[in-house]
Structures are given as structure tokens and as C-alpha cells.
Structure 1
Amino acid sequence: MTIQDVQTLRSVSSASLFAQARAEGRSSLDEAAGKALLADFGIRVPRSRVARTAEEAGRIADELTGPFVVKVVSPDILHKSDAGGVALRLADGPAVKAAVEAMAVKPKIAGALVEGWLVEEMAPAGREMVIGGYRDPQFGPMLMVGLGGIFVEVLHDVAFRICPIDAAQAEAMLGELKGRALLRGARGEAAVDEAALIDVMLRIGGPDGLLMRHADEIAELDLNPVIVSANGAVAVDARVILAPDSAGEVGKAQSASPLDTFRPLFEPKTVAVLGASTKDVAIANTFVRRMKAFGYSGALYPIHPNATEIEGLKAYPSLAHTPEPVDYAYIAVGAERIPGILAGANGRCAIAQVISSGFGEVEEGKALQEALVEGAKAGGVRVLGPNCLGTYSPRGGLTFPADAPREVGSIGIVSQSGGLTTDIIKRGEWRGLRFSGAVTIGNSADVKPHELVAYYLEDPQTRAIGLYLEDVKQGRVFFEMLRGAKKPIVILKGGRSNLGRLAAASHTGALAGDEKGWDALQQQTPALLVSTVDEFIDLLLALQHFELRPERPTRAVTLFGNGGGSSVLGTDAFAEAGLDVAPYPDEARMHLEALKLPPGTSVANPIDTPVRTLQEKEGFVAGEILDIVYAHARPDAVAMHLNLAAFVGRGSVDPVDNLFAVIEQTQARWPGLAHFALALRTDGSPELDDRRRHYREKARQVGVPVFEEIAPMARALAGVGHLERRMSERQG
């Protein structure tokens, strides 16, 4: 920017500062303009002026109050300290003049275009902080805060959030810092004004903050350091990297009702199939056969240019020739034909799912994918895919996997992987999951993930949502939607390192790894990221059965089962997951001890009961134990674990079978008090694995999720607690 006096710049609007920098072809604001920008947003900066020569710098110092700092102003030098372009603690005008003369001859400065020298009053001593911002490629503006100096340079002690933030989120960010105690006066140091620091964070990342008002202008922002003391906060350095002109918005919301838009997908009355053959068994033929076997009761229309009958069904030459408009079309034909097919629908097809590949997933198919989207717009069709496998909706009789459960459940799935979705449906079925729907979306050329999430959020049949995502597409809309969500969301994220790191020009950029936006997302919304399919199914299984309690998030757990070593390891697993298996208060222990359970029983929490104890009263002794726990310990969750091998050959009565009646009765007596989860452990033998399947179905009938080990159960309950806390913050 053409060098100007800083006081003059401060009278210029922030929009004018960006416009002038772009008009001059600059990629960043100089420091004077950066501080003028901060001042425009009410952030304190030191008094300063820009000098063109060493002599002028000395004269400026005589008009300000020392000590001083002097910095080089050059569009060629972004990291001034590295170039030797910063001098600190200069006492007076002569010292300032001498410092400028010494810096001017340093190699990196002498060879650069130097526009001037910033002469600035040094800020009072205090704690150095760094506040930064950057434009995440998926979620848009993000805010960073951390301790400055060695804490950011070496320890990377920072926290991130997606903007906008509020005061509570700013406070939570500070709470994540390992060095938070330093702000509060550790080791005899004076405490700093945290309220002033939070105020700066809100002026940068709040609803009307700098990053939100100028989201399209800023690629990276670094205030490093911000000096915070007992007397407030002062930004003593400002680095503002401009975003490319093409940055634009990160997604726009859709206006149509999600339930109306996607009802033809989840409850189709007419289904067309493109790609079935009269001779070969193509994937589309398999789809027709699976639909028949699944019991689809609507009209099935094979589409074929020449055939009159396919798979025993009357065929039609195009989507425009079916007897009725088509709710859902399954398309598995050559990629190059599909744009024309969609354009020719003439408004008679609501949803088309393109199974075919050869589009945007490969370089040579990107233009064809654009043509597909244009064809769909011309034909009035919303498109799922391409490069996917299909949709599973038991309520609508729609399926692409074989032998999927017909029972309508409450878990809604959206996935960018067709094969993984099949795995989730089948493994989930075996574990007890039942689905309200599962949609594969592949490349998401038209319908984006957030649109289907919007459907599930409004769908009364769905109580929890599971997503497998590699690329969220319109991430900003996705974030805003999740921020207001009233249902829990579990995200299995693939390719967390595929976006590529920023070519960072600041500390913020260097620390802004690809995963930071997703990590922030789960701190600001009722969503939780998991890393494996097993964790994904485990948590969804818990959400299928539990009624979440935002008013009392899960933390205190009763661990109850057989096997002393297992109880010890289980306690460790719960502690590692951030949950408490703490000894009971005296009153609870007194009542439990009064039961006079057999020797070897421990009732301290964990409750460790030998098989003999659980066989008392044909297993119904567990109900007496649980009644006392619920009445006097009042945990947030009860986690029961049983080693099924220990029950083999131990009497004629199966106490585990009776246990499900006990659980059902206990939950009825103490509604909403505690989540109940069960880990059924086996030795891997076919006999015990079969027995566990029997028990799992009984547990499903009484609303209890079953896990294979204690540690996965602990992680699932910890996930439930996380989601409850996020929902509590949203309600607050």
C-alpha cells in the first residue's frame, strides 16, 4: 500500500484498506494498514507513525513516548524478525535513528523494496498471546488463540473454533490451553485481564467481527503478539494475508423443504431402472431382483430403448414415457449417455441416483460431471451421486444391499462410500442397529451431504444421524445447520489429510492443519468424530436406545459385572475415556452390604460379582443391586459386563436370560435416571458367539445396546456425554 501516516490510515474504512491493497496488486496489508484495520474494529494498538528515512524516524520518536520499537515496512518482507527488520527497547530519537541505519544495510533488507519504517511506542509488559484467523477451505473463517512465544513456536499450545464464536466459546478456547494457568498468575506472577483478551477474540471472530465481516478478503490473519496484562490487551503486531479474489462463499443454503424434496427418495411410489438388460445380469438387473425380494409394493419401470420386457416387467423407452411420473430412478448406464437421459426427463422424475462411474472422481470425467449437473437442471431432476451404489429405505421398500432388514429403525445414514454403507448396514444389523434410511452419495455432484442431513433433522422417524464423509462440499452451510441441530450426529471422516495444508505465511496458517475445522466442528455442534467403523456403529447403537440428557451429561458411571481383572481394566478404560467410576458414598455401600451377597463380591464401584452371586434368586438378585444403585448412588450410566464363558456349566438356570427382564423392570422403575449399557464378552467359540446373538436380540427388545468389550462401551458412553454437553450448550 502506498505509504501513509498511520493516523491517516486509521480514519479510513476497513473496506477501503482492502480495496486499496488490491488495487496496488498486493497480497497482504502492510503493518500500518493492518493496525488501522484492527483499530477500525475497536482493538487497541500502540501509537505509531511511518517514517521514510532514518532522520524522520528519529524526529517521530521525539513526538511519541518511549521506549520504542522500529520495524521495516516492505511488501517483499513478510517475516520482519527473520530479516533483522525489528529493533526493540529503543530509548529515544537518536537510538531510533541509529537502529534504522543499522537495519537498512542488512542483506535481506538492502535487497528489498523498503517503503518506510514503522516507529511505535512499546506496549507495557504482559503475557504474550497470539490470536489468528484463516479461511478453512471447507468451513470458512476460523479463529485461533494460543500463548505466544515458545508456547506457539514449540509447543503449539493453541485452540481453534469456526467463526462466529460467542463469549462462552472464547472462554472454552482459553480453557483448552495447557498454559491457561499462566494467565491467572501462576508462580506469583500477576493475573492478566482475561475479559480484555476475550473481547479481542470476539472483535476478531464474533458475529460482527473482522473475520466474519471480511470473510472473502482474508486468507490468514496473525496478531502475534497480543500483549495482555492486568490493564488490558494490546495488539503489537498485525499480519493480514489477502485471499484470492475467487474465494467466494463456502456454500449457500437451499430454500425448499427437505421433507418435500426427499420424500420421493425415502418413500417412492414409482421406481424406474435404467441399465437392466434382457440378456446379461447387469447391476441394474440385480437391483430389480433385490427390490422384488425386499417386497417393494410400488410400480417398477425398467427403461430400455428397445426391449418390451425386462425381469418380467413391462419396459419403457425413456423416463418421459412411463405411465406415471417417476419418484426415484436408478441409473446404471454408460456415463456419456447420462446427461442426455436426465435432460430428457422433462420434469417427470424427482430423484435420480447415478450408479455409474467415470465422472468427477477421475480427471477426464470432470467435464462430464458438469454436463450431468446441467442435464439434471434442464430435466428438473435432483441427482444423487454419481459413482455410488444406491439408497436403502425400509419404510419405502427401497434397497440396494441383499437381505437388508425390513424393520424401520431410527438411525439415518449418509455416506460417500457405497461399499462402506453396505458394511454399515449389514454389520449394524448384526449388532442390533435399525435404520430410517441409508443414502450413498458418491461424488455429490448435485445433492450435497448437508441436504440429506437437513432431511433427517426434520424426519420424525430419525433420532440420530451417521455420516461417512470425505469431502463435505458446502461446508459453511453444513456447519450452520449442525450448529442448530436438535439431533446428535456421528461423523466417520475419511481422508482427513487430503485437502493439503495451506502454503502458510503466518503462525496461524502453519498450525491450521486439515483436521482443525473438523475438530472445531465437534466442539461447537452436537456432532462427534470417530475414526473406525466399529466406533461409528457402537455410538449409533447407543444413540438408538438412549434418550439424551443435555441437562445432566453423562460422567458418573457404575461398572457392574463378573471378573475382578476385567473390572480393574474396565475402570481404567472409563478413566481413559474421561468418565468416572468412583467409589460409592457410605449410604449406598451400607445398603449394598446389607444384601449379604456371597463371599468374593465387592460393592464399592466397580461392583464385582462372581457368577455365584449373579445366580442368586435365578439372576433376579441383579435387580435388587440395581435398585440400590439407582436409589442411593444415582449414576449417569450403568455399564454392565459379563464374561459369558464363566456361566457355562454353572447350574440349570441361565441368569443372563433373566437379566433382561431385570433391566426392563429397573428402567421402568427409574425412568430417565441412567443410561444402561451391556458388554457381553466371549472366548470366541462359535457356541458362545451364537449365545451372544441370542442375548443381543433380547437386549434390543428392551432398549439396551450390547458391546463386545468394556473399552468400546466406555468410548460409546463418553461419546454420549460429549453429545449431551454440546446439546446443553446449544440449549443454553
Structure 2
Amino acid sequence: METPVTNARPVDDIVDHALENGHAALDEASGKALLSQFGIRTPRSEVVDGAEAGARTAAQMRGPFVVKVVSREILHKSDAGGVTLGLADADAVAAAIHEMEAKPAIRAAEVDGWLVEEMAPAGREVVVGGLNDPEFGQIIMVGIGGIFVELLKDVAFRICPIDRNDALAMLADLKGGALLRGARGEAAVDENALVEVMLALGGADGLLMRYSDRIAEADLNPVIVSAQGAVAVDARFILTQDRRLAPAPEVDGASAAETFRPLFEPRTVAVLGASTKDVSIANTFIRRLRTFGYAGPIYPIHPKAKEIEGLAAYPSLADTPEPVDYAYVAIGAKRIPDALAAANGRCRIAQVISSGFGEIEEGKDLERELVKKANAGGVRVLGPNCLGTYSPRGGLTFPSDAPKEVGRIGIVSQSGGLSTDIIKRGQWRGLRMSGLVTVGNSADVKPHELVEYYFDDPQTRAVGLYIEDVREGRAFFELLRRHPAPKPVVVLKGGRTAQGRMAAASHTGALAGDDRAWEALAAQLPVALVTTVDSFIDALLALQHYALRPAKPTNSVVLFGNGGGASVLGTDACVDYGLSLRPFEGRTLSLLEGMGLPPGTSVLNPIDTPVRTLQEKDGFVAGEILDTVLEHGRPDAVAMHLNLAAFVGRGTVDPIGNLFSMIEEAMEKFPGTAHMALALRSDGSPELDETRRAYRARAAAIDLPIFDEIPAMAQALATVGHLERRLGARAGSPVGT
């Protein structure tokens, strides 16, 4: 039998009373009272003041019993010797209390009482916990193993609030999840009862959301789950009054499209920091802007100069002939707040390149002053401590020789230097952007605001984020969760192992280090995490060319190319990334075998075709293979691979060039059937690298992404599949789970 602990306060009083009295945690009795009022079953129990009272209480309850010390000074009761299990009767309860009173750690602490409790029935031990993440707010965890959860590390996290599908997906993530459904002849547990516990803790109306600013960590450990239901045997709540995650006030009611149009398509540009004597970074910016083809007026701002870089200069932002859409600011940090305040409503966006603000301790106050004065002057601030914005549609750039074509990928980056790398490396890989904004310290404009702009921008198909500190992580989560038409987001996360969390006081806190919240975000929403610049570019390259299919997420792949060893390694890579290479059978296999391809060709999947095979019919044999595979095999993706070096000096026909024509024809004949991808492998010689570059330009015209190696192609396809599943789940598609 389970009932709330006796003498329980009303639910609001339990937490608030503890905080008002300076308590850092709830004692177990209060914690269980809190759980009971949220509908979570706990064992029948009562707090007593000593052994005699314990015996009297036990006589009114059903054994066996558990006795636990109740003390705000003892967080880990088992370690202090403050838990005794399996007590048969009232006399055993009294004896256990006497014995625990003598334990050194208990004698040294202020003891509030002893919890006498009926033991829960046998079942599987599970942990359900919560943590107030410094970036995203409340997250929930479930894990197998009870007190051994830190050893097993079989856990799953999600950002709150969760729904029933989230809870079921968390249980499906657990390696030991099969234990809940019955294993080796044991009975299955009531999994629905466990889901109800998870929803009561982390759902929209759950405990963690109700006390989101007052609970730092929570542990229901163990929760005993059996065929008869789920019972929280122990409860631990660490309290806080940290309200860091309160949403920032809106500067105005403008939409993201209205707010950031002046950034991506500026009609006028001002430059603060250009010199008449030296070539400063601001002078370089003016020169690059003009070389790139910016068509609007450029206004250098200088207190004394009449002309800079051949352009008329003006004393302040208030003195320009027209209002300024975008200001590039590279002057001394201490002068910037007043310079932006002087705009007095005549400047929309200012990007502060200068450093010396919140990235150093002595600059934090100056950063707050910067935002306050800029906003008072009607200016939204990007940065400070960043490099600039690249917007080919608006003629805006900070790197030299960047592509002028307007692409489909929008990027937000907290690193200026890495952004240059992404733009230039992406340029040679065929990646084209709708824009890239460096945000540095994100003192005013936060990353999620720019993501919202890209979501609303018809030119942008997908979004890339290089992030170290997302700042308003809860707002980012809510944008992804609530936006009517979110686009896929690829996140390259910096500082994954140096997040600097609080010292964890619970199992949940100990297991939630590094990037658990980001992994939860990717498990819930159309977000993919990558770990290198190359994988970031590869994923965005695929998203640039593919129309995603949430109702048919990418999983089954046909691998098709030359080089037996490459095909074997390629198969391993696909499997490593969770893709499926199912052998052909039935009509598909008989048609491929009936083509009479030369000896050495294998058509089982992978389709391994030596160079000689690909030269059949002037290379057009590949088209027949593709037609058969797409019409009868119906894979989710066809991943082709060719070793460029193998074709050197092997005849006058260019089978690779012909392959592009055949791929284009196949995509027209079987639209939407499969994503097409091609890995062109080079030996690293300048000649073959240049050949690959030429093929890339040709491939871009038919929306075919080109990768350098098969594993990179496999990872990109797996990322696409993940994003398709998350988009499908968000839309309620049955395949999106």
C-alpha cells in the first residue's frame, strides 16, 4: 500500500517553506510528499523522532520495513550508514534506529528524525531524475540500474516539457529497455506506469516545469517498476533560487524578417574605425565591400576626416545623409556605447567587431552599457568581439573572394575565424550560403533570433550553427518546438567537454555532463550534432541539394561504385552510421544479373563495378544499373563512389562525365525516389583535385552533392535521415519516431 507521508504541507508550501528557511534540499519525507501531490506513488511512510516511536508506527503498518535517517546535513544516506532494509517487525525497526544513531556520520549531523517505510514490492530498479541545465533549463533523465546507474550509464535525457512520445522514445533509447518488457522468461513491468511517472515529473504540467526556477536537481532513485505499477522508493530534491533562465525582454514587436532585413540586404552601410593614415580592419572592410560589389552608399564615420577611402566621411551616425541599415564598428571599446547611442534612431543594426567586452571580466559592465545605450538609440547589436556578416544577396562580406552566388544555407557562428574557414572551405566544396553572421559574445542579438530569421527566409533551406554558448537556450528550444515551419539545423558545438557545470549532488547531475542537453535537443527536434568542420560542411552540402522527405526518412542505401576494397570499407562506414545495405533479391537481383556485366562485377549491394564495367557502352551502362535499382529496388538513397585515379589513361571516353547525365536522367524519371550522392576520391595530386573541382561545379547544376570520401558521404546521409525522422515526428508522421 502506498500513501503520502504524514503531516505533509500543501504542495506550494513544501518548496517555498524549505527555501524560506535556508534549506538547500528537501528532506526525504518532504520530497515524497511533493511527489504524492503530483500523483507519483510512494511507499506508505511516517517520520518519527526515535526508536520507540518507530516501533509504534511500524506496528500500524505492513512489513517488511525500511528505516532511513532524515537530515538536511546527510545527502547520501546510504554512504553514511543511514539506510536499513528488510526489517521484519516493529522490534527490528527500533533496533535499526538505535544502531544507526551510533554511526559516526550520523552522530556528527543534526538529525531531524527517522523515516519508517513499508518496503516496495520487488521489480526493476529505474532512476527518473531532473536537472536545471544552465543553457536549456529543466531536463529529465531516465536510467536503468537504480543505485548502480552511474556505473551502468544506461540513461536517456530530454529537455522539458516532454510528452508521451518523448517518454516512450527515452525508454526505447535505453540499452536495458528490453528488461522492462520482459527478458529470460521474467514478466514484463507496467511500462505505462513508468511513463506516467516521467510525465508527472517532466511533462508540461509536471513538477520540474512548475518549479523550474527552484529545483536544481531531482532524483527519484530507485523507482521500483513491476507488473503492479511504479513506486518511487527514494526522492531527493536539490533547491535553488537561480533565475538566470528568465526570458530577456523583447526590444520591440518586429518580426525576425523585419528586424534583420537591414542586415542581410542593407540599403546603406556605415563604417566606424576607418583611418586616413593607416590601413585598419575597417579600411579593409570598405575595400572588400566595394570589390564584392556592394551597390549602396557607404558612409565612413570619423570625428574629423572629410574623406576616407575616396568616400565622404561624417562625424557620427546621426549626420549621415540617409539612415543607416548596417554599421560596421571597429573603434576602441570604451567609445562604442556613446557612438551607438548617438545614432538616435538612425541606425538599425550595428556589428561590433571590437573586443574588450564580456569575454574578459573587466569588460562585462561595459558590455551591459553597450547594449543599454545602443537599444536606447534604436540599434540592435551583433557581437561584440566578432568579424562581420557575409550576405551575397546584400553585397555584404568580410572575407575576401567569397562566392557571390546566393545559396540555400544560412549560418550563425560565434567564431569569426572559424567562419572564414567555413566560407572558404565550403566554397571549394560547392557550399553556397544565403548568409553567415558572426555573433561573438551575443550580448544583444542572440543566435536563436537569427535562426528564426532563416526559418522565415524563403531563400534558406537549412541552418548551420557553430555555437559555444547558445545564451538563451530555452528560447532556442521553444523556437524549434513551436515554429510553424522549422528547417533542419546542423550544430557544430564548441567546448563540448568544458561546460563547467555545478558540482553534481545527484545521480542525474553526475550523468548530465558535457553535451547531454544538446543530445536531448537533437533527439527531440530537427537538429543534428556534428563534431568537425568537415562533417558540418558535408551535412549542409547534402541539405543544400536535398528536399527532405519526413514521410520516407533515409535509411536503406545502395552503394554503387568501383574498387572492391572501397566497397567493403564503404559498407562498414554505412553500417557504422546506422544505415542499412540490404542485399538485392527477387526481380531486382534477376534484372541486374541478366545485364551480362563483365566478370568481376558484383550486383548484390554493394554494386561493385570495376573500371572496365563502367566503360561498357561508353559508360552509359551505369544508367541502366541506376534505372533498375531505382525502379525495382526503391532505396532511400543511392551512394555512388568513384576513384578518379583508376580512370586515368583508361581510354578516351569519360564515363564520369557521362554519369552526371545519367544521374540527371534517373532523377527526372524517378523523382523523389532516392537521394543521390557521389563520393569522388582523389589521390591528392593537383591534377585530380582540379578535375574533382570541375566535376563539383557540374554536379551542383543537377543538385548532386559531391563528397571527398565514402565515410563522409555515409555520415551526411545518416544526418539527413535523422533530420527527416525528427521533422516527421514533429509533424505527427508515424515514421518519425
For 1:555, the equivalent position in structure 2 comes to 555
Query: How many angstroms apart in 2 are the aligned matches of 1:210 and 1:148?
Result: 23
**Pick aligned residue for 2:456 from 451, 458, 467:** 458
Q: Is this contact kept in 1: 2:147–2:222, CA < 8 A?
A: no
Deviations 1:31-71 (A, max 9, x none): 11101100110011111111112111111111111111111
For 2:735, the equivalent position in structure 1 comes to none
Tell me whether 1:232 sits opposite 2:224 in the alignment: no
Q: Is this contact kept in 2: 1:251–1:475, CA < 8 A?
A: no
AA of the residue aligned to 1:579: L
For 2:319, the equivalent position in structure 1 comes to 321
Matched position secondary structure for 2:574: helix
AA of the residue aligned to 1:235: A
Query: How many angstroms apart in 1 are the aligned matches of 2:293 and 2:146?
Result: 66
For 1:335, the equivalent position in structure 2 comes to 333
Query: How many angstroms apart in 2 are the aligned matches of 1:248 and 1:71?
Result: 35
Kindly state the Cα deviation for residue 184 of structure 1 after the two structures are TM-superposed. 1.7
For this pair of structures, how many residues does the alignment match? 726
For 1:295, the equivalent position in structure 2 comes to 293
Deviations 1:485-525 (A, max 9, x none): 52110000001123213211111111110311111111011
For 2:714, the equivalent position in structure 1 comes to 714
Matched position secondary structure for 2:638: strand
Tell me whether 1:158 sits opposite 2:155 in the alignment: yes
For 2:124, the equivalent position in structure 1 comes to 127
Query: How many angstroms apart in 2 are the aligned matches of 1:151 and 1:117?
Result: 25
Query: How many angstroms apart in 1 are the aligned matches of 2:221 and 2:248?
Result: 31
For 1:609, the equivalent position in structure 2 comes to 609
Q: Is this contact kept in 2: 1:276–1:285, CA < 8 A?
A: yes
For 2:48, the equivalent position in structure 1 comes to 51
Change (3 A) 1:324 1:363: same
Kindly state the Cα deviation for residue 683 of structure 1 after the two structures are TM-superposed. 1.0
Of all paired residues, the percent bearing the same amino acid is 68
**Structure-to-structure mapping, 1:523-602, within 5 angstroms:** 523-602=523-602
Tell me whether 1:504 sits opposite 2:536 in the alignment: no
Kindly state the Cα deviation for residue 248 of structure 1 after the two structures are TM-superposed. 5.0
Indicate the larger mover: 251-260 or 561-570: 251-260
Tell me whether 1:623 sits opposite 2:620 in the alignment: no
AA of the residue aligned to 2:565: G
AA of the residue aligned to 1:65: R
AA of the residue aligned to 1:718: A
Deviations 1:672-701 (A, max 9, x none): 100000000111111111111111110011
Change (3 A) 1:172 1:639: same
For 2:434, the equivalent position in structure 1 comes to 436
Kindly state the Cα deviation for residue 164 of structure 1 after the two structures are TM-superposed. 0.8
Change (3 A) 1:129 1:539: same
Indicate the larger mover: 411-420 or 64-73: 64-73
Tell me whether 1:102 sits opposite 2:65 in the alignment: no
Matched position secondary structure for 2:656: helix
Query: How many angstroms apart in 2 are the aligned matches of 1:94 and 1:30?
Result: 25
Q: Is this contact kept in 1: 2:288–2:397, CA < 8 A?
A: yes
Query: How many angstroms apart in 2 are the aligned matches of 1:236 and 1:652?
Result: 77
Q: Is this contact kept in 1: 2:131–2:218, CA < 8 A?
A: yes
Q: Is this contact kept in 1: 2:150–2:511, CA < 8 A?
A: no
Query: How many angstroms apart in 2 are the aligned matches of 1:448 and 1:704?
Result: 34
Tell me whether 1:172 sits opposite 2:169 in the alignment: yes
Q: Is this contact kept in 2: 1:26–1:75, CA < 8 A?
A: yes
- State the TM-score, normalized to the length of structure 2: 0.97
Change (3 A) 1:501 1:33: same
Kindly state the Cα deviation for residue 150 of structure 1 after the two structures are TM-superposed. 6.0
Matched position secondary structure for 1:6: coil
Query: How many angstroms apart in 2 are the aligned matches of 1:275 and 1:149?
Result: 61
Query: How many angstroms apart in 2 are the aligned matches of 1:466 and 1:143?
Result: 26
Query: How many angstroms apart in 2 are the aligned matches of 1:110 and 1:653?
Result: 89
Query: How many angstroms apart in 1 are the aligned matches of 2:573 and 2:715?
Result: 8
Query: How many angstroms apart in 2 are the aligned matches of 1:251 and 1:334?
Result: 27
Q: Is this contact kept in 2: 1:151–1:157, CA < 8 A?
A: no
Query: How many angstroms apart in 1 are the aligned matches of 2:280 and 2:501?
Result: 42
Tell me whether 1:472 sits opposite 2:455 in the alignment: no
Query: How many angstroms apart in 1 are the aligned matches of 2:652 and 2:99?
Result: 94
For 2:72, the equivalent position in structure 1 comes to 75
Change (3 A) 1:142 1:466: same
AA of the residue aligned to 1:57: G
Tell me whether 1:311 sits opposite 2:322 in the alignment: no
Q: Is this contact kept in 1: 2:245–2:472, CA < 8 A?
A: no
- State the TM-score, normalized to the length of structure 1: 0.98
**Structure-to-structure mapping, 1:400-419, within 5 angstroms:** 400-419=398-417
Kindly state the Cα deviation for residue 8 of structure 1 after the two structures are TM-superposed. 2.3
Query: How many angstroms apart in 1 are the aligned matches of 2:289 and 2:150?
Result: 59
Q: Is this contact kept in 1: 2:136–2:473, CA < 8 A?
A: yes
Change (3 A) 1:715 1:241: same
Query: How many angstroms apart in 1 are the aligned matches of 2:638 and 2:471?
Result: 40
Q: Is this contact kept in 2: 1:490–1:530, CA < 8 A?
A: yes
Q: Is this contact kept in 2: 1:484–1:525, CA < 8 A?
A: no
Deviations 1:691-722 (A, max 9, x none): 11111110011110000111100000011011
AA of the residue aligned to 1:95: A
Q: Is this contact kept in 1: 2:137–2:245, CA < 8 A?
A: no
Q: Is this contact kept in 2: 1:641–1:710, CA < 8 A?
A: yes
Matched position secondary structure for 2:661: helix
**Pick aligned residue for 1:42 from 39, 42, 53:** 39
Kindly state the Cα deviation for residue 665 of structure 1 after the two structures are TM-superposed. 0.8
Q: Is this contact kept in 2: 1:140–1:250, CA < 8 A?
A: no
Matched position secondary structure for 2:6: helix
In angstroms, what is the RMSD of aligned CA positions? Answer: 1.2
Query: How many angstroms apart in 2 are the aligned matches of 1:417 and 1:19?
Result: 42
Kindly state the Cα deviation for residue 365 of structure 1 after the two structures are TM-superposed. 1.3
For 2:189, the equivalent position in structure 1 comes to 192
Tell me whether 1:396 sits opposite 2:387 in the alignment: no
Query: How many angstroms apart in 2 are the aligned matches of 1:162 and 1:250?
Result: 17
Q: Is this contact kept in 1: 2:584–2:633, CA < 8 A?
A: yes
Query: How many angstroms apart in 2 are the aligned matches of 1:202 and 1:434?
Result: 43
For 1:19, the equivalent position in structure 2 comes to 16
Q: Is this contact kept in 2: 1:148–1:224, CA < 8 A?
A: no
Query: How many angstroms apart in 2 are the aligned matches of 1:119 and 1:63?
Result: 11
Kindly state the Cα deviation for residue 246 of structure 1 after the two structures are TM-superposed. 4.2
Q: Is this contact kept in 2: 1:465–1:490, CA < 8 A?
A: yes
Matched position secondary structure for 2:156: strand
Matched position secondary structure for 1:566: helix
Query: How many angstroms apart in 2 are the aligned matches of 1:315 and 1:502?
Result: 51
Change (3 A) 1:246 1:207: closer
For 1:7, the equivalent position in structure 2 comes to 6
Q: Is this contact kept in 2: 1:303–1:319, CA < 8 A?
A: yes
